[in-house]
Amino acid sequence: MSAEQHLISLGLVLPHPPTPKGVYKPVVIDGKHCYISGQGPYLPDGNLITGKVGKELNAEEGKQAAQQVGLTILATLKAYLGSLDQIKRVIKVLGMVNATPDFESHPYVINGCSELFAKIWGEENGIGVRSAVGMGSLPGNISVEIEALFELV
């Protein structure tokens, strides 16, 4: 199955691709590389998931927020490239959790996005290198922000 077919079979609803909230482009193409700006956890109704993980959200809720970030990334890629099948593989993910100073389960949280990508593009191509870390704060108090680098077909 292709990435687009995987997306359909998963039955997941993509949020609307967000418009930039500052002076940046959502996507930049550089040869065979596709850079995507840091994306937030948009819901299909246009709202964002907010609150610090470790306080307002527990790790499981943080993981769900990371999945919404993943879906927002998919929506942005589709809007820009026309199809998720234009992506050959994930090269790199930087997963940033808006966490309390004592939070320790960042990898578990960011898996919410990484597991989604693995389902869309497969275990080999959907998984890249990654850092999963805790920020002191994030824009609009969103719970998770993720930026990524993909290789195009």
**Which pair of tokens denotes residue 106?**
């960042």
Which residue of 3, 37, 48, 72 would you call a contact of its own copies, by CB under 8 A?
Answer: 37
Which residue of 11, 13, 23, 46 would you call a contact of its own copies, by CB under 8 A?
Answer: 23
| Residue environment code for 38-60, b if the CB has 16+ CB neighbours within 10 A, otherwise e | bbbbbeeeeebbbebbbeebebe
Which residue of 57, 75, 96, 144 would you call a contact of its own copies, by CB under 8 A?
Answer: 96
Locus of tokens 């949020």: 15
Residue 136 within binding range of its own copies, rule CB under 8 A: yes
Compute the distance between CA of residue 38 and CA of residue 134 in angstroms, rounded to an integer.
15
Q: CB 133 → its own copies: shortest distance, Å? A: 5
Other CB atoms within 10 A of residue 27 CB: 16
Residue 73 within binding range of its own copies, rule CB under 8 A: no
Footprint of its own copies (CB under 8 A): 21-28, 30, 35-38, 52, 54, 91-94, 96-97, 99-108, 110-111, 114-115, 118, 127-141, 145, 147, 151
